[in-house]
Chains A and B, each alone.
Chain A
């Protein structure tokens, strides 16, 4: 028997700095749990402030990175894309966290675990974008997903339990797909690192192409669940409907950007080699994801369900950027998602403001509730109108610039059909975004039941901030583009 060689690990080679941002969040989450052990009667506002504080420190650390850094046996990869997406994740998490300063009492918000889970989920997303190792991505994906399932289930309603179970079972399936796909890649290339997988596959000239394809299909399916791409989008509407608006808004923005980064890193392997099959697969997925939920959204009478389908369609738009694969497209992915976040934050925050205490089956966010809102609360109505018009892609509001840059990158890359499909979908989408506008502005109020029961000045602050950014986004596009192009270029996308 030969002796196993002694492994020595130099502490500094681990490069602890790369993990520090996530550690901060996790420690803060544990701290929240410990505080609760000591004193059970603290107000939720303390936990919210602690969480936001942790996220702010986290943000500071993340901003400290400005070049490729690897750590923990190359498990972690802190490149430009990771930094940029972490910044988006953290800032949007802070804003969605602010929404919990609400007035009504909610079951789940009485538990400090809710805020701890929130932070665990954020840490999970941060790990997801900061790695190109399939194993770490897997673990991170699970961390964040588990936290989300629980957070949804904690909402004390029948629809919430249904949503959580649905999300959990589907998520479990996607986890299995991801594990299986990773296994195939490991078997083929002897590595779980995307950069090494890419190198080995390229060197071998995509040896055993069929098996690679099978593995790819599994990973695509897993990512499609997370990104709510067609045909794995079926959970979205129910999950959003079952969650509170604050959580649904979070779900529509933050997990997706983490998923996009994984998809960006993964599909890069194939797109730089002009793999026709994978491109075709993505093409079909993108086009169907944009179109089918869009058509279904036309039929929705519930505001949140409508926004759910709209966010699926928007995920399809952003996914198109990955398909196009040029530098401009990668930049437009980030620009699009930042613009989408700005608008969606406002829209969901207004839904959250309008949350009522009395629960009637399915009446929660029925569009009819918003009839004649312009008469009862003109400011909120106007802002909601602006958010809807921004989602529809009318200039000069935020999402228009995302669409402009994205469609521009499709046109420039010669993907004219894709551009036309995007245009057609924007036109279809305009109809259902107009529906709430019509209800709010053009109908007479039916009953004056709609009151801003859940409103606090902090939520109003969030709404107004996001409205200001939505309206004056034209002035932030140039600096944003410069930041985005700096970070994407240093990581070679």
Chain B
């Protein structure tokens, strides 16, 4: 079991290489089988995971550049556990539903590479290794958008690349500086996050380092006003690109906040709560309004993603166990829901080669299965109780309510606004008369698409009713993290604030 995380990382990598040898006709099956095996490995990992243990599990440490403190360290805790499983699951689902035909072999090999980098990000515990996977994920995504995308694909892919690359470079300086601070304090080099957690940093240093890390994470999330690459990327990306981008890549940013910013810089995190909350609120409300104004189905979902990511950020910066666990839950639920929605848009685009809402209407009569599944996933997106979307949104907002009731109430608008733009889109495209002749002959979901979508619907309802499997390990890990934060804070006010917002009442 000790090596299971390395197997998880490198199995897709080797599978990608073997993929070059596979015949083009069977590459799709090959892709599905390998991602299925990867998913099974992640489930085996989950079965062996001790949910009550808040510490890192399955740790593995191999020195790479010991003289500079860079080691290959991987481990997993309740925070990253389900993000990894969600990654393996969504990659598998997106390959099952894959409808691209052009250069399929390249596409599947690229997706397998991408899977390696995504899992690497979630399990790396050495900052340089984390950065390595983080940056490496840009290349396959650049290729997916640039080679299989729409008309403006090259512009979109370069914009995506440069935005995120620049943000992460600033983060790199922060990481190097933190490594140096560790060296100054202890006399040894280390980029191990767990070692770094022992450091107590002065307040002004925390501020600067927080900003450096923020640059990397905020662009990736994306937070307002760094979100402008996202609508282009989604608008131009092929379905599989959008699914993986929305489901997994965006979560890297929010995961980074939880893994790095909060425990390493508790005072700075507390200091920046209100400014970040305001940015998140703008994202929530403004992009929801922008989503309403979109004519393209995919853009509606893209903007709704930015809006939901705002809620995740709010949950994280609630600085309490409810908020952070809720945001972790929301990361997973948003992964499943937005991935599902992009898959659904992909289905209709495959049939009509358009995503404009005005081109549709009355789809429910010709495609009843499609309409039903769309409705379920849409409910998850709106955050209807008993769906997966509700728990995370509720907990995030509840968590933030302790920090600032006013802002939390404003953020609550997301549920209303989300319902407005989603339901309006649904009404326009699925109800009423069929106005276009082409729509009358549309074929309902086929077996392949049902195989991909039904598991999503099942999960959306299952975790909506019974969220414990995800919340329990997350709660343990987050409680431990909050205790670390509380033990590390320099400022008494911040310490009081952390105790106050945490209902479990951490004692110093």
* Interface, chain A (partner B; CB < 8 A): 389, 392, 394-396, 401, 404-405, 407-408, 411-412, 416, 419-420, 423, 426-427, 430-431, 434, 437-438, 441-443, 474-475, 477-478, 481-482, 485
Assess whether B22 is interfacial by the CB under 8 Å rule.
Answer: no
Select which of B132, B143, B170 is within 8 A of A395 by beta carbon. B132
**Residue picked from A419, A426, A441, most chain B C-beta under 10 Å:** A441
Assess whether B165 is interfacial by the CB under 8 Å rule.
Answer: yes
In the complex the two chains form, is A426's CB within 8 Å of B169's CB? Answer: yes
In the complex the two chains form, is B131's CB within 8 Å of A431's CB? Answer: no
Q: Which residues of A contact B179 (CB under 8 A)?
A: 408
In the complex the two chains form, is B66's CB within 8 Å of A438's CB? Answer: no
In the complex the two chains form, is A396's CB within 8 Å of B173's CB? Answer: no
The 5 nearest A-B residue pairs measured at CB = A395-B132, A442-B146, A427-B166, A408-B176, A423-B169
**Residue picked from A394, A434, A442, most chain B C-beta under 10 Å:** A442
Closest beta carbon of chain B to A325's beta carbon, Å: 17
26 pairs from A and B in contact (CB 8 Å cutoff)? A395-B136, A396-B136, A401-B65, A407-B173, A408-B179, A408-B180, A411-B180, A412-B180, A412-B183, A416-B173, A416-B177, A426-B169, A427-B165, A430-B161, A430-B162, A431-B158, A431-B162, A434-B142, A437-B142, A438-B154, A441-B146, A442-B146, A475-B64, A478-B67, A481-B65, A481-B68
Q: Which residues of B contact A485 (CB under 8 A)?
A: 67
Closest beta carbon of chain B to A432's beta carbon, Å: 11
In the complex the two chains form, is B173's CB within 8 Å of A423's CB? Answer: yes
* Binding site secondary structure of chain A: helix
How far is A430 from B139 in the complex, measured between Cα atoms in Å? 12
In the complex the two chains form, is A389's CB within 8 Å of B154's CB? Answer: no
Decide yes or no: A442 and B153 within 8 Å by CB, A419-B173, A420-B173 being known contacts: yes
How far is A19 from B466 in the complex, measured between Cα atoms in Å? 80
How far is A482 from B153 in the complex, measured between Cα atoms in Å? 45
B147 and chain A: residue at smallest CB distance: A442
In the complex the two chains form, is A442's CB within 8 Å of B154's CB? Answer: yes
Q: Which residues of B contact A394 (CB under 8 A)?
A: 135-136, 138-139, 165
In the complex the two chains form, is B132's CB within 8 Å of A405's CB? Answer: no
- Total A-B residue contacts, Cβ distance less than 8 Å: 88
Assess whether B318 is interfacial by the CB under 8 Å rule.
Answer: no
Interface flags, B145-158, vs A, CB<8A=1, else 0:
01100000110011
In the complex the two chains form, is B147's CB within 8 Å of A441's CB? Answer: yes
Q: Which residues of B contact A389 (CB under 8 A)?
A: 139
B171 and chain A: residue at smallest CB distance: A423
Q: Which residues of A contact B170 (CB under 8 A)?
A: 423
Q: Which residues of B contact A411 (CB under 8 A)?
A: 173, 176-177, 180
The tally of residues in B whose CB lies under 8 Å from a CB in A reads 34
How far is A420 from B172 in the complex, measured between Cα atoms in Å? 10
Decide yes or no: A427 and B162 within 8 Å by CB, A408-B179, A411-B177 being known contacts: yes
15 extra A-B contacts, CB within 8 A, seeds A389-B139, A438-B146:
A394-B135, A394-B139, A396-B132, A396-B136, A404-B176, A407-B176, A408-B176, A408-B179, A408-B180, A412-B176, A419-B173, A423-B169, A430-B165, A431-B162, A434-B161
Decide yes or no: A404 and B153 within 8 Å by CB, A423-B169, A434-B161 being known contacts: no
Closest beta carbon of chain B to A425's beta carbon, Å: 10
Q: Which residues of B contact A475 (CB under 8 A)?
A: 64
Assess whether B347 is interfacial by the CB under 8 Å rule.
Answer: no
Closest beta carbon of chain B to A448's beta carbon, Å: 18
Q: Which residues of A contact B135 (CB under 8 A)?
A: 394-395
Q: Which residues of B contact A477 (CB under 8 A)?
A: 64-65, 68
- Chain B contacts with A in 386-435, Cβ cutoff 8 A: none
Interface flags, B178-222, vs A, CB<8A=1, else 0:
011001000000000000000000000000000000000000000
Q: Which residues of A contact B157 (CB under 8 A)?
A: 438, 442
How far is A411 from B177 in the complex, measured between Cα atoms in Å? 6
How far is A420 from B66 in the complex, measured between Cα atoms in Å? 26
Closest beta carbon of chain A to B146's beta carbon, Å: 4
Closest beta carbon of chain B to A388's beta carbon, Å: 11
Assess whether B332 is interfacial by the CB under 8 Å rule.
Answer: no
Decide yes or no: A427 and B169 within 8 Å by CB, A394-B139, A438-B146 being known contacts: yes
How far is A107 from B386 in the complex, measured between Cα atoms in Å? 79
B148 and chain A: residue at smallest CB distance: A442
Q: Which residues of A contact B489 (CB under 8 A)?
A: none
Q: Which residues of B contact A474 (CB under 8 A)?
A: 64-65
Decide yes or no: A478 and B64 within 8 Å by CB, A395-B131, A427-B165 being known contacts: yes
